[in-house]
Amino acid sequence: MSSNNFELKNPESGLTTSLPVRSGTIGPAVLDISNLNRDHGVFSYDPAFAVTASCDSKITYIDGDAGVLLYRGYPVEQLAEKSSFMEVAYLLMYGDLPDATQLQEFSGSIGRHTMINESLLRFFNGFHHDAHPMAMVSAVVASMSAFYHDSTDIHNPRHREIFSHRIVAKLPTIAAAAHKHSLGQPFIYPRNDLDYCSNMLSMFFAVPCESYTVDPIAAKALDLLFILHADHEQNASTSTVRLAGSTGANPYAAISSGVAALWGPAHGGANEAVLAMLEQIGRVENIPKYLGMVKDKSSHFRLMGFGHRIYKNFDPRAKIIRDMCHQVLAKLGRNDNPLFELALKLEDIALKDEYFVSRKLYPNVDFYSGIIYSALGIPRSMYTVMFAIARTVGWVAHWLEMISDPNMRISRPRQLYTGPVRRDYVPAAQRKTLQEA
């Protein structure tokens, strides 16, 4: 990493300010404005943090113009082809790919932490059967902060490690419990003889009265989707986890805030919204009508699963998932999937449309993932939960990176105040109503 300076000139005063420029290992350099207020009495203004780097990070790199995504330096395409979700989880959390022994120990530890406390299980009975699973999952994850008192010292590296294994291991169990609660079916306990994704499918689809065999095609597809969703640098939910965690909050509470942030349709909730949109569009002939609605801003209609704050090119994850749809649907004998056909046609038409071309709007990770979840029999309301299970690894990696940084401080953005200037309190009887004023 190198550094030099960037000169800013105030045209009114003629004064020149010198700001340090910091360069990472790859990617654009950043202006270090951390002393701007101390030295010059002003703050920077960047609503929605579109051009603000909030931290140093060694975890994930994105080049949005080139459509590149690297986890700890490894291209996501290579990891998708050759790796496994457990290996990627280790990579993100510990910084390097594990050797065979490390992988075995890590997977074994995750396997041993899959059960949740029986009291936590009873929490689900407090929810109505039609509660959205993301509401249940974020509430139950937050409730984990009331358990596990043996490992809450965030300054103790071993405690942090135990927390990280517990949350990664228990998220599928919590998700499956939410699913079973919605169905009114008995909860299925985890099976530690199965790998991460096979165990998740078993907890989802098994029933106590029958034996259940996990379809290896389904487990492999889920594993691949989890690799692709595992991390995405400082996205909204990860930044939320970092912000909540920066106060020294209980880490389960910090992860729960990430689940809540992920739920929104502009973020992870888009995968659920895409399928609803495709059903709403219904037929290829209706696509022009909906593209017309996109262009009419008063309609508030957006193509869900399209566009990205960073990618101004194909989201590499969307390409992989689109190819995966062809393979998985063929293997499962469901090639004639009308929603997939419609999605392909919609992508094709949108990518030739001037509105999308000029704004550089491409399909993102959420555009095709729901097609696969649906082929695996996962209900639509669970799609964002699937995203949350995978992204928990990224949240944990970022939380670990932040907490172990000796320079960590509470995150506290500033504002441009546009409210009333100072005024004095007037007793209610003497206040004029709005009409009189």
Q: By CB under 6 A, is residue 268 in contact with ligand CMC?
A: yes
Residue span binding ligand CMC (CB under 6 A) among the ranges 85-93, 147-155, 260-268, 419-427: 260-268
What are the residue numbers of the active site? 308, 366
Q: Is 85 or 356 the residue whose CB approaches ligand CMC more closely?
A: 356
Choose among 66, 72, 4: nearest CA to 398.
Answer: 72
Number of residues that bind ligand CMC (CB under 6 A): 19
Q: By CB under 6 A, is residue 294 in contact with ligand CMC?
A: yes
Q: Is 289 or 432 the residue whose CB approaches ligand CMC more closely?
A: 289
Q: By CB under 6 A, is residue 370 in contact with ligand CMC?
A: no
Owner of token pair 């939960």: 385
Q: By CB under 6 A, is residue 87 in contact with ligand CMC?
A: no
Three-state DSSP class for residue 232: coil
Q: How far is CA 223 from CA 356, 364, 372, in A?
A: 31, 19, 12
Residue span binding ligand CMC (CB under 6 A) among the ranges 136-144, 302-310, 337-345, 412-420: 302-310
Choose among 402, 413, 33, 43: nearest CA to 234.
Answer: 402
Roughly how many angstroms between the first and final C-alpha of the chain, as a whole number? Answer: 60
Q: What's the min distance (Å) between Cβ of 209 and ligand CMC?
A: 38
Give bridge partners of residue 110 from the DSSP assignment.
none
Contact pick of 112, 309, 326, 431 for ligand CMC (by CB under 6 A): 309
* Helix residue ranges per DSSP H, 1-99: 36-40, 76-82, 85-94
User: Which single residue brings its beta carbon nearest to ligand CMC?
Assistant: 307
3-class DSSP string for 250-313: CHHHHHHHHHHHHCCCCCCCHHHHHHHHHHHHCCHHHHHHHHHHHHCHHHCCCCCCECCCCCCC
Contact, 232 vs 207, CB < 8 A?
no
Q: Is 88 or 303 the residue whose CB approaches ligand CMC more closely?
A: 303
Residue span binding ligand CMC (CB under 6 A) among the ranges 71-79, 90-98, 174-182, 266-274: 266-274
Q: How many residues does the chain have?
A: 437
Contact pick of 202, 364, 369, 392 for ligand CMC (by CB under 6 A): 364
Residue span binding ligand CMC (CB under 6 A) among the ranges 153-161, 189-197, 298-306, 428-436: 298-306
Q: Which residues bind ligand CMC (CB under 6 A)?
A: 235, 266-268, 270, 294, 302-309, 359, 361, 364-366
